[in-house]
Amino acid sequence: MVLQGSLSEIACWVLEWFSRLKTRINGYLRAIALALGGQKCAKIFVLNSSSSSPSPSTFVQDFFAPLLEEVGRAKHRRVCNELPDAQWMTLGTRRALEDHPSGRAFLQHLYASGVEAPEISHFFESLKSGRRLALSGEVCLALSKQPRAKADDVLSAARELAGFDLYAGDGHFHAAAAHDPRTSEGTKYATGHFFALNLRSHALSHLSVADQTQRKKEHDMHALKRLNIVTLRQGAALRRKVLYVWDRAGIDFLQWHHWKQGSGIYFLSREKTNMALETIGTHVIDSSDPRNAGVLADEIMATSQGVSIRRIRYFCPIRQEEFAFITNVNSVPPGLLAHLYRIRWDIEKVFDQLKNKLGETKAWASSANAKTMQAHFLCIAHNLMLLCEDTLESVHGIRNEAEIQRRTDRLADLTQQLARQNLRVPFLISATQHLTQRSVKFIRWLRVQLFGQPSSAQPLDSLRILFAVL
């Protein structure tokens, strides 16, 4: 192997390599000590061996490779001999993927599995670090921008959306951490987060943790207003527009106007029942465009805040219900905007994945830094699973065939059901058939690969069988 770079870069690499080697071997020794004499006994072991550590499986290396690439490029990366940044980022991601009820349980599982892990106190102290918080945030955003082998074909084909970055946004809550303070009534407040899901790539990003001191449950728009423009634009290129599809909690017409005029940030939501809107004009609906099927009206509305907005009235044949969408986007067909709000539900499916499949229901620690890091690692875990699925399909031809067939069957049943009522499935719905969350069988299989060390071919064969029959 030839090392390239400056002398300082080579020295940093060597230090990190020896640190990883030391930590792995100490992990084995601590695991033995834990079995024999508990945590105190584990601390007496020191590294006195020069033997090399066992190599991880090819799959594990490939799975974490996109993450480690971004860590290597990060501006907030530093050399730390006790807990290198690459190891720390991998540990945090592993914890997000595992379902252990506490940090101690997670670390004990690592010790027993022979995976390199820090001292318990060191791991929890690292969750308070402002520098590591900046690192996890930088890597989280960069990883969410990595191109996927597959994207939403319908959105990619819509030339009217070519200049937009498209996100579904919403809040999500975790139960309070074990050591979070209680109120005078003896209760603990849940920890709120605000996330954004890229509607093209399905990559998940974190916008903000909810106010930890002033409000027990921060409103979505209050949180959005305190974010800076750089955060809201999420790295969008200059002159590129950003569209957030948010539920009714994201409505503030005057703020929408300011964001649109000054920063190229747009919003799409649903009309509230108590809104006092006045019709001041209409847009002609192109009925020859199949994407506009179901659109009843495309109107220009005056608001009490002195700005005008667009309202789209749409009838959904599947739910047999009329909806009213409001937006400050004027250049996109109304049926396409209605479709964007429909697929906003994908972020709710991702939240279900985090809660019920990954078991992430509780905050890891009490500090705001730790809670934000947890959200970063959840996003990283989700995005690595997406990239892994892409590789499995594009390189190995492995897809979740059983689930794809179920979705095909459901669409066929829906088509027949609507045909009996002389109705059709909207074109945009029939053309958009993608998996909205990772399956339980994939997550279980992934956990086995990360903590076992199988050969590179055998785990793929087992997954191919799982996807084919279950």
**Residue 215 forms part of a structural domain:** yes
72 domain residue, yes or no: yes
Q: Which of 309, 329, 357 is the last residue of a domain?
A: 357
Q: Given CA atoms 96, 102, 103, 109 in this order, what sign does their dihedral have?
A: negative
User: Is position 1 within any domain?
Assistant: no
User: Does 323 map to a domain?
Assistant: yes
Determine how many CB atoms are found less than 10 A away from the CB of residue 21: 17
- Average pLDDT of span 419-423: 90
- Does pLDDT of 36 surpass 70? no
The pLDDT confidence band at residue 153, using thresholds 50, 70 and 90, is low
Asked if residue 48 and residue 110 are part of one domain, the reply reads yes
**Whether residue 46 has pLDDT greater than 90:** no
Whether residues 120 and 247 share a domain: the answer is no
> Which pLDDT tens digit goes with each residue over 298-311?
999 999 999 999 99
Domain shared by 275 and 256, yes or no: yes
Using pLDDT thresholds of 50, 70 and 90, give the confidence band for residue 52.
very low
Q: Answer yes or no: do 132 and 158 share one domain.
A: no
Neighbouring CB atoms inside 10 A of 73's CB total: 11
88 and 105 fall within a common domain: yes
**For residues 154 and 427, what is the distance between their CA atoms, to the nearest angstrom?**
10
| Per-residue pLDDT at 23 exceeds 60 | no
Taking the model in full, what pTM does it have?
0.84
Residues 349 and 225 in one domain: yes
Most confident of 146-150, 247-251, 401-405, 435-439: 247-251
Show the tokens assigned to 367: 């500090």
pLDDT at 157: 86
Residues 220 and 315 in one domain: yes
Final residue belonging to a domain, choices 336, 357, 378: 357
Average pLDDT over the chain reads: 85
Task: Give the dihedral of Cα atoms 458, 460, 461, 465; nearest 10 deg.
Answer: 140
Determine the pLDDT at residue 453: 52
Burial 96-123 (b: 16+ CB within 10 A, else e): bbbbeeebeebbbbbbeebbbbbbbeeb
Strand partners, 268: 245, 327
Count the alpha carbons within 13 Å of 307 in the hemisphere toward its beta carbon.
16
The mean per-residue pLDDT over the stretch 405-433 comes to: 87
27 with 55: CB under 8 angstroms? no
Pairwise pLDDT comparison (401 vs 134), residue with the higher score: 134
Query: Is the pLDDT higher at 117 or at 400?
Result: 400
- Same domain (yes/no): 134, 159: no
Contact by Cβ (8 Å): 251, 269: yes
Within-domain flag for 396? no
* Host domain of residue 283: 147-177+188-357
CB atoms within 10 A of CB 62: 14
Amino acid 14: pLDDT? 54
Distance CA(97)–CA(438), nearest Å, equals 12
Q: Is residue 296 part of a domain?
A: yes
pLDDT band at 30 (very low <50, low <70, confident <90, very high): very low
Mean pLDDT to the nearest integer, 27-56: 40
User: Quick one: 135 and 151 in the same domain?
Assistant: no
**What span, in angstroms and rounded, lies between the C-alpha atoms of 96 and 100?**
9
Over 80: is that where the pLDDT of 9 sits? no
Q: What is the mean pLDDT of the segment spanning 439-443?
A: 91
State yes or no: pLDDT of 38 exceeds 60: no
Residue 429 above 90 pLDDT? no
Q: Are residues 160 and 84 in the same domain?
A: no
Cα–Cα distance measured from residue 147 to residue 78, given in angstroms and rounded to the nearest whole number:
26
34 and 109 assigned to the same domain = yes
Give residue 16's pLDDT.
52
Assigned domain for 394 exists: no
Task: Indicate whether 329 belongs to any domain.
Answer: yes
Q: Is the pLDDT of residue 173 over 60?
A: yes
Tell me: do 315 and 201 sit in the same domain.
yes
Number of domains in the chain: 2
Cα(75)–Cα(183) distance, rounded to whole angstroms?
A: 39
pLDDT value of position 208: 95
Q: Which segment of 31-35, 41-45, 380-384 scores lowest on mean pLDDT?
A: 41-45
- Report the pLDDT value the prediction gives residue 34, as an integer from 0 to 100: 43
Residue 214: Cβ within 10 Å count? 8
pLDDT of 427 over the 70 cut: yes
397: left (phi over 0), alpha (psi -120 to 50) or beta: left
pLDDT confidence of residue 13: 54
Q: Which of 357, 385, 403 is at the close of a domain?
A: 357
Tens of pLDDT, residue by residue over 54-95, are 344 578 888 999 999 999 999 999 998 888 999 999 999 999
CB contact at 8 A, 193 and 174: yes
Q: How far apart are CA 391 and CA 307, in angstroms?
A: 47
Could you read off the pLDDT of 224-243 as tens digits, one per residue?
999 999 999 999 999 999 99
Handedness of CA 64, 67, 70, 76 (dihedral sign): negative
| Residue type for position 303 | T
* Closest-CA residue to 19 (of 80, 108, 110): 80
- What is the 3-class SS of the chain, one letter each residue? CCCCCCHHHHHHHHHHHHHHHHHHHHHHHHHHHHHHHHHHHHCCCCCCCCCCCCCCCHHHHHHHHHHHHHHHHCCCCCCCCCCCHHHHHHHHHHHHHCCCCCHHHHHHHHHHHCCCCCCHHHHHHHCCCHHHHHHHHHHHHHHHCCCCCCCCHHHHHCHHHCCEEEEEEEEEEEECCCCCCCCCCCCCCCEEEEEEEECCCCCEEEEEECCCCCCCCCCHHHHHHCCCHHHHHCCCCCCCEEEEECCHHHCCHHHHHHHHHHHCEEEEEECCCCCCCEEEEECCCCCCCHHHCCEEEEEEEECCCCCEEEEEEEEECCCCEEEEEEECCCCCCHHHHHHHHHCCHHHHHHHHHHHHHCCCCECCCCCHHHHHHHHHHHHHHHHHHHHHHHHHHHHHCCCCHHHHHHHHHHHHHHHHHHHCCCCCCCHHHHHCCCCCCCCHHHHHHHHHHHHCCCCCCHHHHHHHHHHHHC
